[in-house]
Amino acid sequence: MDTPVSHHRAIEVILEEHLRVATALRPLAADVDRVVATIVRSMAAGGKLLTCGNGGSAADAQHIAAELTGRFFRDRRPLPALPLHGNASSLTAIGNDYGYDHVFAREVAAHGRAGDVLLALSTSGNSENVLRAIEAAREAGMAVIGLTGETGGKMRDVCDICLCVPSTSTPRIQECHILLGHTICELLERSLC
């Protein structure tokens, strides 16, 4: 019988890298506070949060919306949040009829209103369909919050607040996006409920 290969050192390296990147988020605290204040103002006035992203970022966008419409720590009223990729029929119809670059922009045009907030996730900050969603949100009079990686990509210059995770590693960026998302959800729950 073969001796199993140990991945102990690789696991340690991954965990150390995660901790290094997560610790490097501390300078973003003031911007996270601004994000929470932006969403609180919107929801207190009857607005909602729309979220979007691709792949793992879509999963994170949906996760954040679910924490708000369900519960995070407390039993409380649901907070209005909608992941823009949540309707597979709309997503595939728009992708087929208009092209994948338009899937989120059309959803923003359908569901977004002045005073709402778009939370856009892209590890590179350069996803064309996310950038078009941001453009549609701007046209609708919405605030735009971005979650990206180290450089922020094109999103850095088109978001009202762009939280750039200081890493170029997609897994570490996504892990920190959900950490930031959970932080935002917890603070929204405290503020609004």
Any domain includes 155? yes
Any domain includes 167? yes
Domain tally, the chain: 1
159 CB-near residues (< 8 Å, 6+ apart): 120, 134, 144, 145, 146
191 CB-near residues (< 8 Å, 6+ apart): 36, 40
CA distance 43 to 184: 14
Q: Each residue of 104-132: pLDDT tens digit?
A: 999 999 999 999 999 999 999 999 999 99
Angle separating helix axes 88-98 and 103-111, nearest 10 degrees: 120
Any domain includes 188? yes
Q: Each residue of 156-166: pLDDT tens digit?
A: 999 999 999 99
Any domain includes 13? no
Any domain includes 5? no
Any domain includes 145? yes
Q: 190 is written with which tokens?
A: 């405290």
Domain span including residue 52: 27-192
Any domain includes 4? no
- Assess whether pLDDT exceeds 80 at residue 6: yes
Q: What is the pTM of this model?
A: 0.95
